[in-house]
Amino acid sequence: EPEVTQTPSHQVTQMGQEVILRCVPISNHLYFYWYRQILGQKVEFLVSFYNNEISEKSEIFDDQFSVERPDGSNFTLKIRSTKLEDSAMYFCASIVGENTEAFFGQGTRLTVV
């Protein structure tokens, strides 16, 4: 079964550093998402991406965050100048089209120290 792949599975970074979280969506999918989940809390929507541009974003997704699909296969989330409160699981998801199921990756656990 096709799957969404995220790397790395764990990332530890120092406060103030930049991190890039990587995702490889399912190959024929057209819509891509990033979510985060702070430990013990709900899954929070960050951003959706379609046709090489952001289509929706939440209030969490401020100038500290950016997304990119640099080469037609990878979908990345960049977090600039990380803060302690950015520590969370980050999930990538993709869907093939509107009104279809989303496939989620297994997540990247980001720890900011």
Please report the beta strands in 58-98, taking only residues with DSSP state E, as ranges in sequence order: 65-68, 75-79, 88-95
Which residue has tokens 């809390």?
41
Q: Is 102 in the site for another protein (CB under 8 A)?
A: yes
- The reply to whether 91 sits near another protein by the rule CB under 8 A is yes
Nearer to another protein, 50 or 76 (CB): 50
**DSSP-derived pairing of the beta strands 108-112 and 10-13:** parallel
**Counting contacts by CB under 8 A, is residue 113 touching another protein?**
no
CA–CA distance, 43 with 4 (Å, rounded to integer): 17
Distance separating alpha carbons of residues 12 and 45, to the nearest angstrom? 22
48 lies in the site for another protein, by CB under 8 A:
yes
Helix (H, G, I), strand (E, B) or coil at 64: coil
Pick from 25, 33, 87, 112 the residue near another protein by CB under 8 A: 33
Q: How many helices, marked H, and strands, marked E, lie in the chain?
A: 0, 11
When binding is defined by CB under 8 A, the residue of 11, 26, 45, 76 that contacts another protein is 45
Give least dist CB 24 to another protein, A.
14
Where along the sequence are the contacts to another protein (CB under 8 A)? 4, 31, 33, 35, 37, 42-45, 48, 50, 55-56, 58, 89, 91, 93, 98-99, 101-107
